[in-house]
């Protein structure tokens, strides 16, 4: 019987299968590498896109912050203008009030009395004057107390002043400013309006 040597054929088959395996392995590695490259590029693209969005948001936020600051500045300017307008309106309103005060003084000063000094500090008037007699000082205080423009006359001092007359006197008087139409408590009258009007009679 003849003998057949199968070793070269088996070795050739083994080498062929090994070659096929290596080719398949290389193909798998190549596909995996390409997949990794594609995934990395996709991730990088997503990161770049998110960075662009973040930059855009940062820019928009900066613009909004600037607008907010401008709005705050405008509100501050508006408040300052409103405050100035209130001061101007208040001064314009008080101009006519001062005229009423002087007019009321002129009406309430009795004959034989004249002022040597008249000052106003806030809502208070400080008056210094000379009277021919104490009775005329009493008349002055009664008229001022009955006036709707003044309240709480307070005689601080009375000193005889012979050079201007035998019964003449120097006096120092304080009283509060008031405005008609305001409540008595706000003006510091401390008495009802009816009593004021009655006093004027």
In angstroms, the CA 104 to CA 149 distance is: 7
**Domain residue limits, the chain:** 91-200
In angstroms, the CA 166 to CA 95 distance is: 40
pLDDT tens, residue order, the chain (201 aa):
555 555 677 777 888 888 888 888 888 998 999 999 999 999 988 999 999 999 999 999 999 999 999 999 999 999 999 998 888 877 676 666 778 888 888 888 988 898 999 898 888 999 999 998 889 999 999 999 888 888 899 999 988 877 776 778 999 999 998 877 655 444 444 443 334 444 443
Residue whose tokens read 């307008």: 85
Asked whether the beta carbons of 125 and 147 are under 8 A apart, the reply is: no
Cα radius of gyration (the chain):
52
Cα angle 105, 111, 171; round to 5: 70
Give the class (CATH, top level) of 91-200: alpha beta
In angstroms, the CA 57 to CA 157 distance is: 77
For residue 152, is it left (φ>0), alpha (ψ between -120 and 50) or beta?
left
């Amino acid at each position: 019987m003849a003998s057949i040597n199968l070793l070269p054929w088996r070795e050739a088959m083994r080498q062929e299968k090994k070659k096929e395996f290596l080719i398949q392995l290389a193909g798998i590695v190549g596909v995996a590498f390409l997949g990794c490259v594609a995934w990395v590029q996709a991730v990088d693209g997503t990161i770049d896109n998110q960075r662009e969005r973040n930059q855009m948001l940062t820019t928009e936020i900066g613009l909004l912050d600037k607008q907010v600051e401008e709005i705050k500045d405008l509100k501050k300017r508006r408040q300052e203008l409103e405050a100035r307008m209130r001061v101007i309106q208040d001064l314009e309103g008080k101009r006519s009030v001062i005229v009423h005060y002087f007019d009321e003084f002129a009406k309430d000063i009795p004959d034989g009395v004249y002022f040597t000094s008249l000052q106003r500090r806030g809502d208070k008037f400080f008056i210094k004057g000379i009277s021919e007699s104490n009775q005329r000082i009493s008349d002055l205080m009664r008229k001022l107390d009955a006036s709707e423009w003044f309240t709480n006359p307070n005689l601080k001092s009375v000193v005889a002043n012979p050079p201007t007359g035998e019964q003449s006197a120097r006096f120092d008087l304080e009283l509060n400013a008031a405005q008609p139409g305001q409540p008595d408590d706000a003006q510091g009258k401390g008495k009802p309006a009816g009593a004021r009007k009655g006093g004027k009679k």
